[in-house]
Amino acid sequence: MSTVNTETRRSGMLIGTVMAGLAGAAIALLTAPKSGRELRGDLKDRLQTLQAKGADLVGTCKAKAVETAQLVKEQSGMLADKAHTVTDDMADKARAATDRAESAAHTAVDRASSAAEKKLGQASDFTHRTMDSAGDSSQRLVDGASSTAHRLADKSSH
């Protein structure tokens, strides 16, 4: 951008200088004491000189315009490349973050599932132990009741 601004200023200065020179030359010719034929000849010479300088100036302006257009094209290409690079980098980072989040979610689900299975196994073991204990207690009660019933029956038969 700095190069483009500098070139624009230079072109403007050049145009201004040429125009001021032309205006000064015209005033000098018109105010100088010369004959009509001499004045017309001088004006013709000056006009031809001005046309040549104008053509040179137009050529210089065209060359500068082409240079500026090429510079803008190069700069915009570099900016587009950089934008693509940054975009691709951000997309890669987003994919990596998504992958990490997905992995963390799977890990959390696996841990929760393992913990639930462990608790379920513990509850199942506790239930089996409780049922075994209740069965043993029931059997002892039945055995005790049966033994008491036999003793009572034996006592009543004597």
Angstrom distance (rounded) from CA 144 to CA 148: 6
The contacts of residue 31 (CB under 8 Å, 6+ apart) are none
Looking at residue 4, its pLDDT comes to 59
Kindly state the greatest CA–CA separation across the chain.
178
Would you state the structure tokens that stand for residue 81, as one six-digit string?
């490349």
Tokens of residue 158, six digits: 């004597």
User: Which pLDDT belongs to residue 43?
Assistant: 76
For 19, 54, 55, 68, 140, the CA distances from 12, given in Å and listed in that order, are 11, 14, 16, 14, 116
The answer for residues whose C-beta is within 8 angstroms of residue 67's C-beta and 6 or more apart is 7
- In this prediction, residue 95 carries a pLDDT of 97
Report how far apart the first and last C-alpha atoms of the chain are (Å, whole number). Answer: 127
pLDDT along the chain (158 residues), means of 10: 66 78 74 72 82 88 92 94 96 96 96 94 92 90 88 79
pTM to 2 decimal places: 0.44
